[in-house]
Structure 1
């Protein structure tokens, strides 16, 4: 267990100075306070919940809570994280990155140490167990994602339901009547992650509205799983001519699998995706896609947090409208 003497030695101050920083009984310089805060953070020292003096003035540190759970596509998450860090730096803040799956305990640990001014939380589930604690903490927070009941929270995200609808509408507009969604890995749906479920809702709603035959298939993030899903789709939906992919890791392997099964993209099969623009544009066959605006989401989250820290009124819900870019994988359905 880390002791106050360990913190003092690490920060190059006396134990009494650390105690004063935590208790607020005597003033200390801002430079010393920040050095002590950095040592506490690095060593993992946990002061008693009542030791709040470090919270009495700003730490200029934001916590970014991004648990790297199974099924998470790390490049997309890290793109958002980099945007959070660079935007926070423009506002004179550092970022403490928390990647462990600690749930409420991780949030409480950060709050109890009083080392951060505010929190940004990612990978939000529809019924996220962290929400009651977030609502009760005395620190501003922003969620990148929407739970089922977002009242009283500040949330920002791509409108994933509209993104699913937009992909289907594009395929339907090109004459495709049998479509499928190749979705996120199964564990993402088991957790009831908000963005994945909203894509399914949008896809299904648009397909039903247009009178299309549709199916949804979760897919593990491996080339072998992509091949299995392609084979299953053609076995179960032999008239399939349109596919929406919401799984960045299998986008290229899936197109390859369909082509090995004898379908030309886009001659026989049109493909749209919800993924980063740079990925869609860089593939062997550039993919028509709705952009995942990771950089904008990170920037918006920090700007909302800065507004809350300044005491300004900010919107509870910020939904970014989806934007579809036409590329080489879509064309009108061939006449039967």
Structure 2
């Protein structure tokens, strides 16, 4: 890593001159400043967080690590990102977007360069490889998601286990006994995405308490993959009358496939989705849905980072309560 002393030597000036150029605390002649700036550019120097602290300066930037995956629902990710940006601006901060494909090394780069005063991580996995870097570097951070070990971390998330439980409870109250859970693509579970695993765990636990028979079938979300999942469900459990869907891409295909198979919703089959209310309202029949405010995740994550920057105490984990809104896609189990 390039040091301030190396920049000074390259520019033919003292280290204090380089520091003054960076901090703006003293007037430096234009030729000298340009020479220093050229040396900084040629050497690829980034002032580290320690130097910023000594200079009494903050970058007033928050780094937001956003997922670039084909298996995430982009509108929700964008809603969270916009919420983070708006909340950050209310504190006089700008947002630097970093893609999660940079992984732990991307966080190391941000921490070493002092580009950002704090970091917000999205798409958190249960055993997320980025978390040891946060602890090692002492980076001020907030997580939108809940890892398996949240000690010492500031986290905000939907209560996905509670959301899964609400789905099972609702269908059990309507008299359904055989319920299928159509989830995300297999890769989401293989990488232990917290939102997927916690929802499924909460659903299974409440289903067991209510004596329900359940199946879980991962699904890519395309029409073909949804057709395959439904075919396997009905082959294994032909008496299935309740469907829980945690895959936005599979909702439309499932409703269409149920119709073409002669199953009327909700008379013959009830469907409950984990999705935003605007999406639930688009379908016919309108979907019974469990949801939570995505914008609130972004706002609270920014507040957590601000609290850490100002050494204010914060709760380690904040879970937002899910809400189930009954609509026309769920009804009493058919009498057989």
TM over 0.5: yes
The match for 2:24 is 28
CA shift, 1:53, in A, is: 2.5
Q: Deviations over 1:261-307 (max 9, x none)?
A: 11111111111111111111122321101114211111111111112
Secondary structure at the counterpart of residue 78 of structure 1: helix
The match for 1:188 is 188
Matches of 2:291 and 2:127, distance apart in 1: 26
Matched, 1:137 2:133: no
Q: TM-score, normalised by structure 1?
A: 0.87
The match for 1:80 is 80
How many residue pairs match? The answer is 319
CA shift, 1:58, in A, is: 0.9
Stretches of structure 1 that go unaligned for 5 or more consecutive residues are: 8-14
The match for 1:11 is none
Secondary structure at the counterpart of residue 180 of structure 1: strand
The match for 1:53 is 51
Matched, 1:333 2:333: yes
CA shift, 1:27, in A, is: 4.3
The match for 1:92 is 92
Secondary structure at the counterpart of residue 318 of structure 1: strand
Are the counterparts in 1 of residues 126 and 192 from structure 2 also a CA contact under 8 Å? yes
Matches of 1:55 and 1:331, distance apart in 2: 60
CA shift, 1:252, in A, is: 1.4
Are the counterparts in 2 of residues 21 and 54 from structure 1 also a CA contact under 8 Å? no
CA shift, 1:242, in A, is: 0.5
Matches of 1:65 and 1:75, distance apart in 2: 16
Matched, 1:295 2:313: no
Are the counterparts in 1 of residues 291 and 323 from structure 2 also a CA contact under 8 Å? yes
Q: Deviations over 1:28-86 (max 9, x none)?
A: 159x9xxx9xx99xx99853676843454111100001231342222211111111111
Matches of 1:237 and 1:265, distance apart in 2: 18
Matches of 2:102 and 2:22, distance apart in 1: 35
The match for 1:215 is 215
Bigger CA radius of gyration: 2
The match for 2:31 is none
Secondary structure at the counterpart of residue 101 of structure 2: coil
CA shift, 1:138, in A, is: 3.0
Are the counterparts in 2 of residues 142 and 155 from structure 1 also a CA contact under 8 Å? yes
Q: Deviations over 1:88-145 (max 9, x none)?
A: 1111110001124011101011111101010000111111111111112233100111
C-alpha RMSD of the superposition = 3.0
Q: Deviations over 1:174-226 (max 9, x none)?
A: 00000011011111101011110001101111111111110101100212211
Classify 1:312/1:212 alpha carbon distance in 2 versus 1 (closer, same or farther; 3 Å).
same
The match for 1:107 is 107
Q: TM-score, normalised by structure 2?
A: 0.87
Classify 1:27/1:272 alpha carbon distance in 2 versus 1 (closer, same or farther; 3 Å).
closer
Classify 1:44/1:105 alpha carbon distance in 2 versus 1 (closer, same or farther; 3 Å).
farther
The match for 1:204 is 204
Stretches of structure 2 that go unaligned for 5 or more consecutive residues are: 29-33
Are the counterparts in 1 of residues 49 and 111 from structure 2 also a CA contact under 8 Å? no
